[in-house]
Chain A
Amino acid sequence: MMKGEEITMINSLDLPSLLPEFLPFWESVGRSRLSFPRCTECGEFHWYPMVRCPHCQSSAVEWSDVEPEGELYSYTKVCHPFGDKLKEKVPYFVALVTFAGAPGIRLVTNLVEVDEDKLRIGMPVKAVFSGADGENASIAFRPLVGS
């Protein structure tokens, strides 16, 4: 994984407002890891986190680390600020990224270090983490070097 330039989230995280089952993802990001909920009964991942596995209704759900490299499933350049706070942020890239190690999950994330003309669906991307813990934890993805 990558600790490159400082990246910050487009909107700041408000951790206390989040449901408890949503926190482990951001705790992992604070440790520069990517993890998703996985059922130990049926072995399936699911996303977003639910209190029970939606595939078999088991409550034996654990968080499992996943290699933070994936594939670009789709993307958009957001040009319109949806809310006043985003006026200074546009334009920015939002992407859906899929992971070989977590079938069925598409992560909503941002793309950084982007050469717009070279973006293509299916290209490999790699996570960029920054910030240590809690509110400052952040994650984005950048095209994999050499691709």
Chain B
Amino acid sequence: MSHHDPVCIVGIGETPPVRRSDKNLRQLVIDASIEAIADAGLSPSDIDGIVTDSVIMPNSVPHEYVAAQLGIDRTFDAALSYGGAGIVCAPMLAEMAIRAGRAKNVLCYFGVDWGSIPAGPYGFHDLYPAKTAYEKPFGFSGQPSYFALWARRYMHEYGLKEEDLAMIAVNQRKNALLTGRSQARSELTLEDYMNSRVISDPLRVPDCCLISDGAGAFVMTSAERAKDLRKPPVNVLGVGFAMETMTGDDIFTQKPDLMHIPGAAEAGRQACERSGISLDDVDFAEIYDCFTISCLMQIEDIGFCKKGEAADFLRSKGTTVDGGFPVNTHGGLLSYSYRLGVEHVVEAVRQLRGEAGANQVKNARIGLVGGLSMPDYGVAILGR
């Protein structure tokens, strides 16, 4: 393949968005993987590489299990970061393998059963020893409380209002309901938001992502092989990966500047440089919206607008699928499902194929996907 030929996403799959599935996590990952491989028009034996995040999947549905179940005789196997940044940067590792001739067709997958297991996403943070020593004793243990401290400080520094956070939640719910399959099924108005239950103030129920069971997967190959496959290829134009040199223990409270996510700025810069795409060219964005406040901050840090100005920027543009800057076109982690961003990659591919249906962004040619897993950040710019 020529150095300039892009590497492509040629198959996507995901299990239905639900709080609790009657299938276990292994079944969910296998279902999504089989769907993605079939969507590409390939059979499992065509796959020779596997990429996931490096923390959650290796400890729950490891590569060799998936390989054995599907009959994947692999010559390449890799994992990076964890959760959101991991799966958004999976195309970077797949691209390296395909360009190096180490693999022809690479399966990337991710899934969680946090909707079913007792401690859900809160239990995941038990792996950080300093949290046990210095946070849990104070009852500081749920992710909403972490981001509530950020939101309160952001309100103090930049004059953010509750209505601004509500706007993000309300618009994403509109996008979600258009899909017809989102986990959140009811309408959400500004009034509903203002009357909703406070979780950790100022954050309310609609500011917090859903909790879900489910998996997603995608298949990557070279542009040359993509020509013969079933679906129009979506090109991986550029991927960036960056972070702060902090541990997962201290990143939520001790980062030198609590109002900036430097990994997002640097990963965005890398992705733009590699793709030759300017942020002005981006038609829609799928941003890691674990909370309304973190979604808003990432939009600033990636560089779509200046720090402190995201609320005005998003309000003036419009973030629903018919707006000037559609954000989280499937409703995101807030309203579609919470599978830590694999659904963001799958959705971006759907949009760029023109397959989204009622929530299709018109003339979507370039999409940006942002994945956060503090302190890491990944940005993938995809196009057709």
CA A22 to CA B133, docked complex, whole Å: 7
CA A17 to CA B130, docked complex, whole Å: 11
What's the least CB distance linking B3 to chain A, in Å?
Answer: 39
B133 touches A19 (CB 8 A): yes
CA A18 to CA B122, docked complex, whole Å: 19
Interface residues of B in 125-147 (CB under 8 A from A): 129-130, 132-142, 144-145
Q: Mark A72-92, 1 if CB is under 8 A from B, else 0.
A: 011111111011001001001
Option from A18, A105, A109, A121 in Cβ contact (under 8 Å) with B138: A109
CA A9 to CA B138, docked complex, whole Å: 6
Contacts of B201 in A (CB 8 A): 76-77, 79
Contacts of B137 in A (CB 8 A): 9-13
Interface residues of A in 90-120 (CB under 8 A from B): 92, 94, 96, 104-110
Of B46-54, B78-86, B247-255, B283-291, which stretch is located at the interface? Answer: B247-255
**How many chain-A residues does the 8 Å CB contact rule pick out?**
39
A10 touches B133 (CB 8 A): no
B139 touches A86 (CB 8 A): yes
A76 touches B149 (CB 8 A): yes
What's the least CB distance linking B383 to chain A, in Å?
Answer: 39
- A14: CB under 8 A from chain B? yes
B134 touches A74 (CB 8 A): no
B250 touches A96 (CB 8 A): no
B148 touches A76 (CB 8 A): yes
Contacts of A14 in B (CB 8 A): 132
Of B14-22, B90-98, B150-158, B171-179, which stretch is located at the interface? Answer: B150-158
**How many chain-B residues does the 8 Å CB contact rule pick out?**
38
What's the least CB distance linking A112 to chain B, in Å?
Answer: 11
In the complex, residue of chain A having the shortest beta-carbon distance to the beta carbon of B129: A19
CA A106 to CA B152, docked complex, whole Å: 15
- A68: CB under 8 A from chain B? no
B132 touches A17 (CB 8 A): yes
CA A79 to CA B196, docked complex, whole Å: 12
B138 touches A94 (CB 8 A): yes
Q: Which of A47, A76, A77, A83 has the most CB of B within 10 A?
A: A76
A121 touches B153 (CB 8 A): yes
Contacts of A110 in B (CB 8 A): 138-139
A83 touches B132 (CB 8 A): no
- A25: CB under 8 A from chain B? yes
- B229: CB under 8 A from chain A? no
If the complex has contacts A74-B150, A121-B152, are A108 and B144 also in contact, measured as CB distance less than 8 A?
A: no
Contacts of B153 in A (CB 8 A): 73-74, 121
Residues of B within 8 A of A (CB): 119, 122, 129-130, 132-142, 144-145, 148-150, 152-153, 156, 197-203, 245, 247, 249-250, 253-254, 256, 258
Known interface pairs A10-B139, A92-B139, A105-B254; 17 further A-B residue pairs with C-beta atoms within 8 A, sorted by A's residue number? A18-B133, A22-B130, A22-B133, A22-B134, A48-B133, A49-B130, A74-B152, A74-B258, A76-B149, A76-B201, A77-B200, A78-B142, A80-B142, A80-B199, A80-B200, A104-B254, A108-B253
